[in-house]
């Protein structure tokens, strides 16, 4: 029987799976029309689609892979663990080993609880904060796009269908680097806010207020008002620093959440923080019990052993420094091409070197998803899959060279599109925001 083409199989996916996949960020509406539809393999910094096309990868499994796809050392450790069984009837020795490793690694952490998804650990943090403070409102940072697929957060987005207003109305918004927006919430919802949750840093540094930065001031305000500070390090953790961006900015959150790059693409995330709070999820205290995280697969061992090995490699090979160094060359290289073409006002790679962002602007200088899609489309033509920018230790000089060659061609097309109109060069639709009311 003739094998179906990747396009045909991609269509079939939508007949069988809503959205044609299990993560909206991987959806058709997040990629240019010419993007590979179905992947079959990944190794190091590269991935292959079902038609056999090879791409240099900057998606890295939604940023989860930070050493490299199918890393031999990590895979070997995982295979050894598989031979010992993957799910036991009582807690396992590697749970203890990994808990010790994380508590030793991150200064703010006194206790830790494992899960398989970031969404679950942020939701665990919210439940814990509500239980500990006895308050019901949660404040999320408006500039940071995603914290969880659960109701407490999705209810606050435009895509809130299926979530009662009673739940959505409990999630409030504040602005990054804006202390006034925090003070305003404390004034309006006096003594009712359980927690403030945010990524420590995304595209800009925390601003300084006197000798303290925004995060330190936010922590002070939380302490003063009886709220908890939750730092969500799902993206920044293991990329800004192995101890998280909280280490760089010298802030001590009450609770913190990590996932993604902690286990090189295996399923692992953790909620961690102060003992006094975390312990409410325990079974040896006399306070009301908090049903914290409790999953059949919470301590499934492949993710745990992958995290142990991943942390070992991060420490041994200084992977974080590699990300910062590679990122600087990546940013400088692409920005130099944009400048040389005279389009640096319309196109730039900005943000932190370890976790940059693409800023694609139109002729008016406004951020424009059509131009962003065009850049992504043309990079794909050059063999580079770059829906966002995530590095791994496997991205090296050779990969930088491939990237810059692809960018040279992509930005030539970009310049033409600025002159002649983007629709003439764009194949299919522009990418769309994930959080929209209607398709
Ligand atoms: C900042 C942040 N928090 C939480 C999550 C949720 O993590 P997961 O996709 O593992 O559920 C994400 C995922 O993109 C994230 O970027």
Q: Give the span between the Cα atoms of 220 and 208, in whole angstroms.
A: 14
pLDDT reading at 437 higher than 70: yes
pLDDT reading at 25 higher than 70: yes
Which tops the pLDDT comparison, 173 or 3?
173
Average pLDDT over residues 232-244: 98
Q: Give the span between the Cα atoms of 304 and 262, in whole angstroms.
A: 10
Residue in the block written with tokens 């730092």: 231
Tell whether ligand 1 has an atom less than 6 A from the beta carbon of residue 234: yes
Whether the model pTM is above 0.85: yes
Average pLDDT over residues 24-34: 96
Tell whether ligand 1 has an atom less than 6 A from the beta carbon of residue 233: no
Pocket test for ligand 1, best of 118, 199, 201 (most atoms within 8 A of CB): 118
State pLDDT tens for residues 343-367. Answer: 999 999 999 999 999 999 999 999 9
Q: Specify the ligand 1 atom closest to the Cα of 64.
A: 10
Tell whether ligand 1 has an atom less than 6 A from the beta carbon of residue 235: yes
Tell whether ligand 1 has an atom less than 6 A from the beta carbon of residue 355: no
pLDDT reading at 383 higher than 60: yes
Q: Give the span between the Cα atoms of 272 and 44, in whole angstroms.
A: 30
State pLDDT tens for residues 274-323. Answer: 999 999 999 999 999 999 999 999 999 999 999 999 999 999 999 999 99
Tell me which H or E stretch contains 167: helix 165-168
Tell whether ligand 1 has an atom less than 6 A from the beta carbon of residue 271: no
Q: What domains can be seen in the chain, in order of their start residue?
A: 6-70+318-424 (3.90.1150.10), 87-299 (3.40.640.10)
Cβ neighbors of 147 (< 8 A, separation 6 or more) are 119, 122, 140, 153, 197, 232
Residue 7 pLDDT class (50, 70, 90 cuts): confident
For ligand 1, the distance from its centroid to the CA atom of residue 26, given in whole angstroms, is: 13
Q: Give the span between the Cα atoms of 236 and 260, in whole angstroms.
A: 9
Q: Specify the ligand 1 atom closest to the Cα of 62.
A: 14
Residue 329, token pair as written in the block? 């060359």
Atom 7, ligand 1: residue with shortest CA distance: 118
pLDDT value at residue 2: 53
Atom 8, ligand 1: residue with shortest CA distance: 118
Q: Give the span between the Cα atoms of 208 and 197, in whole angstroms.
A: 19
* 233 three-state secondary structure: coil
Tell whether ligand 1 has an atom less than 6 A from the beta carbon of residue 199: yes
Residue in the block written with tokens 């895979």: 75
Average pLDDT over residues 332-348: 98
pLDDT value at residue 3: 59
Mean pLDDT of the chain: 97
Pocket test for ligand 1, best of 62, 119, 120, 246 (most atoms within 8 A of CB): 119
Q: Specify the ligand 1 atom closest to the Cα of 269.
A: 10
For ligand 1, the distance from its centroid to the CA atom of residue 180, given in whole angstroms, is: 27
Tell whether ligand 1 has an atom less than 6 A from the beta carbon of residue 146: yes
State pLDDT tens for residues 76-103. Answer: 999 999 999 999 999 999 999 999 999 9
For ligand 1, the distance from its centroid to the CA atom of residue 176, given in whole angstroms, is: 18
pLDDT value at residue 154: 98
Tell whether ligand 1 has an atom less than 6 A from the beta carbon of residue 119: yes
pLDDT reading at 1 higher than 50: no
Q: Give the span between the Cα atoms of 361 and 248, in whole angstroms.
A: 31
pLDDT value at residue 5: 74
């Amino acid at each position: 029987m003739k094998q179906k083409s990747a396009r045909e199989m991609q269509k079939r996916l939508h007949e069988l799976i809503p959205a044609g996949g299990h993560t909206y960020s991987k959806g058709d509406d997040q990629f240019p029309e010419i993007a590979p539809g179905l992947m079959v393999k990944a190794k190091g910094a590269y991935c292959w689609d079902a038609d056999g096309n090879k791409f240099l990868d900057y998606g890295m499994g939604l940023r989860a892979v930070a050493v490299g796809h199918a890393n031999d050392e990590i895979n070997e450790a995982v295979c050894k663990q598989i031979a010992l069984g993957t799910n036991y009837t009582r807690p396992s020795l590697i749970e203890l080993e990994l808990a010790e490793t994380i508590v030793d690694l991150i200064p703010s952490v006194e206790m830790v609880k494992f899960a398989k998804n970031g969404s679950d650990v942020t939701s665990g943090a919210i439940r814990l904060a509500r239980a500990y403070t006895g308050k019901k409102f949660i404040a999320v940072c408006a500039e940071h796009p995603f914290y969880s697929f659960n109701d407490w957060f999705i209810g606050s987005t435009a895509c809130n269908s299926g979530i009662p207003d009673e739940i959505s109305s409990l999630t409030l918004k504040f602005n990054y680097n804006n202390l006034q927006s925090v003070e305003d919430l404390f004034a309006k919802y006096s003594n009712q806010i359980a927690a403030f949750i945010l990524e420590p840093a995304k595209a800009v540094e925390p601003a300084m207020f006197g000798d303290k930065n925004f995060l330190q001031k936010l922590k002070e305000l939380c302490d003063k008002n009886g709220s908890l500070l939750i730092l969500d390090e799902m993206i920044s953790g293991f990329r800004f620093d192995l101890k998280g961006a909280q280490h760089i900015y010298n802030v001590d959150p009450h609770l913190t959440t990590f996932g993604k790059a902690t286990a090189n693409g295996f399923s692992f995330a953790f909620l961690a923080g102060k003992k006094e709070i975390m312990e409410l999820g325990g079974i040896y205290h006399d306070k009301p019990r908090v049903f914290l995280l409790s999953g059949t697969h919470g301590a499934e061992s492949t993710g745990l052993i992958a995290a142990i090995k991943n942390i070992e490699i991060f420490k041994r090979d200084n992977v974080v420094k590699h990300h910062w160094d590679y990122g600087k060359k990546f940013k400088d290289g692409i920005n130099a091409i944009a400048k040389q073409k005279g389009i640096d006002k319309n196109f730039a790679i900005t943000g932190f070197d370890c976790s940059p962002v693409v800023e694609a602007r139109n002729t008016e200088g406004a951020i424009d998803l059509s131009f962003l899609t065009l850049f992504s489309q043309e990079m794909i033509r050059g063999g580079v899959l770059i829906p966002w920018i995530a590095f791994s230790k496997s991205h090296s000089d050779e990969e930088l060279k491939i990237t810059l060659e692809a960018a040279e061609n992509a930005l030539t097309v970009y310049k033409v599109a600025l002159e002649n109109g983007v629709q003439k060069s764009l194949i299919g639709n522009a990418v769309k925001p994930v959080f929209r009311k209607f398709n």
